[in-house]
Structure 1
Amino acid sequence: MQNKTVDVIIPTYKPDDKFEQLIDRLERQSFPVNHIYIMNTGESFFHSESIHKYSNISVEHINQEEFDHGETRDKAARKSHADRIVFMTQDAIPENEYLIEELMIGLELDGVGAAYARQLPEDNCNDIEKFTRTFNYPEQDSVKSLVDMERLGIKTFFCSNVCAAYNKELYESLGGFIRHTIFNEDMIFASKIIKSGKKIAYCANARVIHSHNYTNLQQLRRNFDLAVSQRDNPDVFEGIKSENEGIQLVLQTAKHCVKIKKPWLVFLLIIKSGFKYIGYKLGYQYYRLPFWMVKRLTMNKEYWK
């Protein structure tokens, strides 16, 4: 494993102190990072001068109209000559110095083509979001393959580019990320990995600190875009329902709220879940909506230009 090289790719937009913390921790990993490629949207917003003290970082600036969740990441991946590539977001902070090492261990498992990290909640994370992190990112490792489709459904394709590592040779052989997508490029590519007969590893010991306290409206917009990505990629998602997974999350979260003696959170959960559901339903039928409404509902306005 130590003979393998690894590059890290990070799209950025108005990076802040979290991003600088991310870079500093990446530079202190037990498994050394060969090169860090930063794809930054909006040069005037990039003020992270501290990264220049590192010699293994390159920054490419693009305009906001050029950014695409799939194509921008793929453009950076094509620059890399490493054996393994790790994609991260600018707000995902490695919990310790073993993040890259643990991901590389996951990629060494038999037949594994991608490995993704566990996401831990930040200190300011609300109780509902904390449980969501636990639900989606449990303490136990797992490996998913085509045989798990009937049991796991859409979760078979779950893989998050908040922090995920890929076998570079396999990535290129399968064509890389989709070039135009509203988001969800990670799950779309994960479906290619699974359908090719390879596997996806979840590495619970590879940990990043990453969470969001979305408002109800933000959650509606996120689920709108999620549904758009599913509607636009029927070859991946058609016939695989995602609502069942959402229902399980709501039920388990409600039980958790009662268990921690905060039953009033169930009311907030119901409201939040309603916004999620409405967003998803609207997104799945987006082509029936007037364009002005689509622009109001989406989180990713550049996608529609």
Structure 2
Amino acid sequence: MDIQIIIPIYKPDNKFIELLKQIKKQVIKNIPVLIIDSGSDERYLSEIKDMNCKVKKIDSKTFNHGGTRQMGADMFPNKDVYVYLTQDAILADEYAINNIIKVFDNKNVGCAYGRQLPHKGAGIFASHARLFNYGTESYIRTLKDSKKYGMKTAFISNSFAAYRRIALKDVGGFPSDTILSEDMYVAAKMLLKNWSVAYCADAKVYHSHDYTIWQEFKRYFDIGVFHARESWIRKRFGAAEGEGKKFVISEAKCLVKKNPLLLIEMVVRDGMKFLGYRLGLNEKSLSKDFKRKISMGRGFWK
């Protein structure tokens, strides 16, 4: 199976250097890597001297979550599988790439994603989010599973995900202009085309964010914008609010056990997430200047 790793970067920190080191330690040797650099200090160049790696420079103003990733795929039109990573996701062991690739032995699998573990030293909110969304059991889901799992059926994360080229082509590739969630867009399209989505619990990366409450608000505003503009996902798979309720209950139970004093912060944090999401769903009634101020993806509002 001919694979291609694609990593978009923008002002990466030391986590990106650790990621590159881990790629070199994989049991699959000399994996080809494409780095799409939209702005960096180029410290990583010394790390890739002994790697099968290409660097594509782009203007940060042209970056788009979907369009940039599709550009990377288009540069390698004959690959079997594209593996996407983000600059802050560190492969957890030498088998991570091998374990996400092997699921494509199942000819029905169109895309797959790995398990995300919290970074060392991650806060309790970030750690719980990873444990809630990324369990210990692998699975493969099809369109029929949407009756049981709703929107969660199309869940996937490009922090560590892989796509079969012919399946990606079958759904028209990544969208060229989304604020985020280009991964869910493709997974949902694949499910509607009768491809399967796989979760590989043994393909692991360290990846988490200790967002402030304001950052959480902005992130969920962007998610709401995506769901408003791609309303077919909510109509076909169900609204996201149901999954949100399950998360809040799980989070509260976690805090009661580990740190009850954080329950008040949880209420404020989750309330701001909900407010941000609802504002995003109704973004048409907001001015572009205001949306730019409350959005994490400010560059989207050109």
TM bin, normalised by shorter chain, reads over 0.9
Shift of 1:16: 2.0
Select which of 14, 20, 24 maps to 2:21.
24
Select which of 65, 71, 87 maps to 1:75.
71
Partner residue, 2:239: 241
Q: Is the 8 A contact 2:7 2:34 kept in 1?
A: yes
Does residue 295 of structure 2 align to residue 279 of structure 1?
Answer: no
Looking at structure 1, the residues matched to 86 and 139 of structure 2 have their Cα atoms a distance apart, in angstroms, of 23
Provide TM-score, normalisation by structure 1.
0.95
Q: Which deviations, in whole Å up to 9, do the C-alpha atoms of 1:4-47 show, x marking residues without a partner?
A: 111100000012211111111112211235311111112x6433
Partner residue, 2:54: 58
Q: What is the DSSP-based 3-state SS (H/G/I as helix, E as strand, rest coil) of the residue aligned with 2:9?
A: strand
Shift of 1:89: 0.1
Looking at structure 1, the residues matched to 33 and 218 of structure 2 have their Cα atoms a distance apart, in angstroms, of 31
Point out where structure 1 has 5 or more consecutive residues left out of the alignment: none
Partner residue, 2:125: 128
Q: Is the 8 A contact 2:151 2:233 kept in 1?
A: no
Looking at structure 2, the residues matched to 137 and 229 of structure 1 have their Cα atoms a distance apart, in angstroms, of 22
Select which of 77, 82, 90 maps to 1:93.
90
> Which amino acid is 1:216 matched to?
I
> Which amino acid is 1:175 matched to?
G
> Which amino acid is 1:143 matched to?
I
> Which amino acid is 1:54 matched to?
D
> Which amino acid is 1:25 matched to?
Q
Q: Which deviations, in whole Å up to 9, do the C-alpha atoms of 1:167-203 show, x marking residues without a partner?
A: 1121122211001110100000000111111111100
Partner residue, 2:254: 256
Q: Is the 8 A contact 2:36 2:57 kept in 1?
A: yes
Point out where structure 2 has 5 or more consecutive residues left out of the alignment: none
Looking at structure 2, the residues matched to 154 and 259 of structure 1 have their Cα atoms a distance apart, in angstroms, of 29
Q: What is the DSSP-based 3-state SS (H/G/I as helix, E as strand, rest coil) of the residue aligned with 1:176?
A: coil
Partner residue, 2:156: 159
Shift of 1:278: 0.8
Partner residue, 1:118: 115
Q: Is the 8 A contact 2:103 2:198 kept in 1?
A: yes
Looking at structure 2, the residues matched to 106 and 119 of structure 1 have their Cα atoms a distance apart, in angstroms, of 17
Looking at structure 2, the residues matched to 235 and 45 of structure 1 have their Cα atoms a distance apart, in angstroms, of 40
> Which amino acid is 1:78 matched to?
D
Q: Which deviations, in whole Å up to 9, do the C-alpha atoms of 1:72-102 show, x marking residues without a partner?
A: 0000011123211100100000000001110
Deviates more, 1:171-180 or 1:84-93: 171-180
Provide TM-score, normalisation by structure 2.
0.96
Q: Which deviations, in whole Å up to 9, do the C-alpha atoms of 1:263-292 show, x marking residues without a partner?
A: 112211111101101110111111101222
Q: Which runs of 4+ in 1 moved over 4 A?
A: none
Looking at structure 2, the residues matched to 79 and 194 of structure 1 have their Cα atoms a distance apart, in angstroms, of 25
Looking at structure 1, the residues matched to 156 and 52 of structure 2 have their Cα atoms a distance apart, in angstroms, of 27
Q: Is the 8 A contact 2:22 2:93 kept in 1?
A: yes
Does residue 203 of structure 2 align to residue 206 of structure 1?
Answer: yes
Q: Which deviations, in whole Å up to 9, do the C-alpha atoms of 1:135-175 show, x marking residues without a partner?
A: 10011111111111111111011010000011112112221
Select which of 190, 193, 208 maps to 2:190.
193
Q: Which deviations, in whole Å up to 9, do the C-alpha atoms of 1:174-233 show, x marking residues without a partner?
A: 211001110100000000111111111100000000000000000000000001011111
Q: How many residues align?
A: 300
